[in-house]
Amino acid sequence: MKEIVKLGSILFLVTAIAGAALAMVNTITKPLIEEQKRLVTERALIAALPTADKAAIDSVIIDNKFRHYYIGYIDSSRKIVAGYAFVAKGAGYSSIIETMVGVDTTGSIMGLKIMQQVETPGLGTKIEEVRYGEESSWFQDQFLNRIANGLAVDKDGGEITSVTGATISCRTVTNSIKKGLEELEENLEGFK
């Protein structure tokens, strides 16, 4: 019986120390992680809303749908809307792919940035690939100036050329953007 109490006490002590260490690490890293998320979102908004003043982008939550949108204005007076942005999410081959999408007031995509993905290296990650001599991702550039209607990858009869070996990732990005555009269109009256 004494042996069991002794082993139980040692186990309790080890788990208490490990728990305290984990709590301390969480306390230290949580603000850093939140700041990194904020910076990723900020950079993605600047890419998605290129005509908006980066200091004049407001966050809006539509109460009835719990959807989070952003409104970008031309300047700090916030009188003229440059466009709207939202995060499109979808399950890719091996991760959830998050894409910040910006649209102008007519519903045409004016910019996008993949914020998070952990797809297969060399295949699914090519959705962010910038070819030699180019300044932006050829895959993402295909979405510019398009609307929700008819948005699909070539394997599904659409005009978006998918990356060889990464059809699932391409389809996920395309379908999540199309769904997000349709929801934005439905919720636009919530901004007024």
The reported pTM is: 0.81
Q: In the numeric block, which tokens belong to residue 37?
A: 């998320």
What pLDDT score was predicted for residue 101? Answer: 94
pLDDT band, residue 189 (cuts 50/70/90): low
* Residue 53 CB-density burial (10 A; 0-12 exposed, 13-18 middle, 19+ buried): middle
The proportion of the chain whose per-residue pLDDT surpasses 70, expressed as a percent, equals 96
Q: Give mean pLDDT, residues 52-74.
A: 81
What pLDDT score was predicted for residue 190? Answer: 52
Q: What is the mean pLDDT of the chain?
A: 87
Polymer length of the chain: 192
Q: Are 85 and 104 in contact (CB under 8 A)?
A: no
Segment 143-167, tens digit of pLDDT: 888 888 878 888 888 888 888 888 8
Q: Give mean pLDDT, residues 120-141.
A: 83
